[in-house]
Amino acid sequence: SHPLLCPPGIKCGGVLSAPSGNFSSPNFPGLYPYETECTWLIVVAEGSSVLLSFSHFELEYHDTCAYDYLQVYNGAAQDRGNLLGTFCGHSPPPPFSSAWHVMAVVFRSDRHVAKHGFAAAYKKDACGGQLTGLSGEITSPRYPESYPNDAECRWSIGGAGAGGPLTLVFADFQMEGGQGCGFDYVALFDGPTVAAPRLGRYCGSARPPRTVSSTPHLLIIFKSDFNIGGRGFKAHFYSAGECQEVFTTIKGNFSSPQYPNFYPNNLECQWSIQLPAGYRVKIFFLDMELEGQSSLTGGCDYDHLSAFDGGTENGSLLGRWCGRESLAPVTSHSNRLLLVLHTDRNTAKRGFSISYVGVVPMNVSCTRTDFHIQIPVQSLAQLERNRIYLGTPSCAAQVVGRNFKIHTRFDTCGTESQRRNNTSVIVSTLYIDFSVGDQEDIHQYEVQCEPKRKEASVTLIAGPDPSRLSQAENLVDAQQWEGEAINTREIKSQDTSDIVFISICILAGLLMVIAVVGLVLL
């Protein structure tokens, strides 16, 4: 049989901007043409959403819809982060409500097997609706203009196969206030109906806190009375599963939602690493591909990953990244580090994969002949002293007071002399063995001494995965911890080699004076 080619002038795709309308596959209810691709872009007033439903649906069937298919996108951009679903066969797609005022529908047929196609209808929903998908944005009617009086909107979020809890974040909020929020308000419920537990009721101009449901459903109700309005609100939601995590173990790894597949749009994800006092956090970027920089500003204005020191977004910014980069490791200055992923409403990429390791608090000093290493016992409370050793297991730490201590001469414990930058240095490796059962987990730190200047440094050289962590970073910044602070004067007072050296010098000087006096007297 000859392929049914699209005859000239047949309507296929386009922009639909009326408040409501209908569209269908080419030739409907006849057989659709082969090798056809159509895109319909539905655009309604901002602040509204699009309600889409299908009255007829019959496409060639394939278990992964690889031949003929229909795709529905949450927004204008046809990227995987916005995809609500891909459909084929005889089962019609469910009704959809867009998460903002734009929706795209794509129909594609291959060169074999034609069916009758589909018929669809859409309408503008002034506010509210059933929102599916992993992420989206909701706004009060007419936002950012003043919302109307006597309005009531309900958004029911969930039920798109995303089984995890939902997170709702308000980007802007300004409504009529009042004690008890009895006039205009937004109410949140931990489920699909008002019978579910209430998560909060908000009004005024203070932004509501970030809200996380305990179920895969969230109901949002907006209500205004007969007078006094405001700008309203803008909020975004996302399925929280892999998007909000707290880590307290000494090492770990995590990745963007759905990695290595494309991450969803419209996310605000947080990963918080919280280690014991005195530790610092070192993160390693194993893979990263986000939407690139803005061509206008050259900055990471669209999707970006940010790292903050101290565990909150008020902490100092350690870095902000986007695009496809190979990044050097980053180390916090405190025992807490926060990573925040922001994605906008279009153009998704593969995302990122990150490992982290806690940098053990320690003080390393040296003389012309010895290394001195101290680590607070409370930092490694679960470890026996023989799990901490310099060079070889025979050079294990001793417990002295509240510290693990290693005091060893340069001619023992696997130390070796090297030349670096035309300077003679003494180098050894400190091993801290966190292994449990059959799971080997040995962290390695290079300790280095420049004997002439009696200057020591320590560098983490292997943590989560030695093959990936080739880039070492000097960790000689001032390291302090709660509890017993290291007293450097105390360490220097134990520096017997220096005392012997000075004593010999003084004795030699005295002998020379005696000899000179003897010669004069003779």
295-318 pLDDT, tens per residue?
999 999 999 999 999 888 888 999
Of 16-30, 120-134, 170-184, the one with minimum mean pLDDT is: 120-134
Share of residues in the chain with pLDDT > 90 (%) = 51
Same domain, 91 and 165: no
Label residue 498 exposed, middle or buried (CB < 10 Å: 0-12, 13-18, 19+): middle
Q: Is the residue at 346 inside a domain?
A: yes
- Cα–Cα distance measured from residue 269 to residue 338, given in angstroms and rounded to the nearest whole number: 10
Residue 106 has pLDDT above 90, yes or no: yes
Higher-scoring residue by pLDDT: 32, 45: 32
Q: Is the residue at 253 inside a domain?
A: yes
437, 464, 491 - which closes a domain: 464
Same domain, 90 and 119: yes
Of 391-395, 407-411, 486-490, the one with minimum mean pLDDT is: 486-490
3-state per-residue secondary structure call for 367-414: CCCEEEEEEEHHHHCCCCHHHEEECCCCCECEEECCEEEEEEECCCCC
- At residue 476, the 3 state secondary structure works out as coil
Task: Give me 496's structure tokens.
Answer: 């017997």
Higher-scoring residue by pLDDT: 142, 435: 435
Position 133 scores a pLDDT of 66
pLDDT category of residue 463 using cuts at 50, 70 and 90: low
Of 8-12, 141-145, 292-296, the one with minimum mean pLDDT is: 8-12
464, 498, 516 - which closes a domain: 464
Query: What CATH number corresponds to the domain at position 189?
Result: 2.60.120.290
Residue 152 has pLDDT above 60, yes or no: yes
Share of residues in the chain with pLDDT > 70 (%) = 84
Question: DSSP per residue over 266-293, as a string?
Answer: S-EEEEEEE--TT-EEEEEEEEEE----
Residue 481 has pLDDT above 80, yes or no: no
Same domain, 165 and 258: no
Same domain, 355 and 256: yes
Higher-scoring residue by pLDDT: 44, 479: 44
Position 382 scores a pLDDT of 80
Closest CA to 406 of 427, 424, 391, 425: 391
Whats the size of the chain, residue-wise? 522
* Domain boundaries, position 265: 244-359
Q: Is the residue at 309 inside a domain?
A: yes
Same domain, 345 and 392: no
Mean pLDDT value across the chain: 83
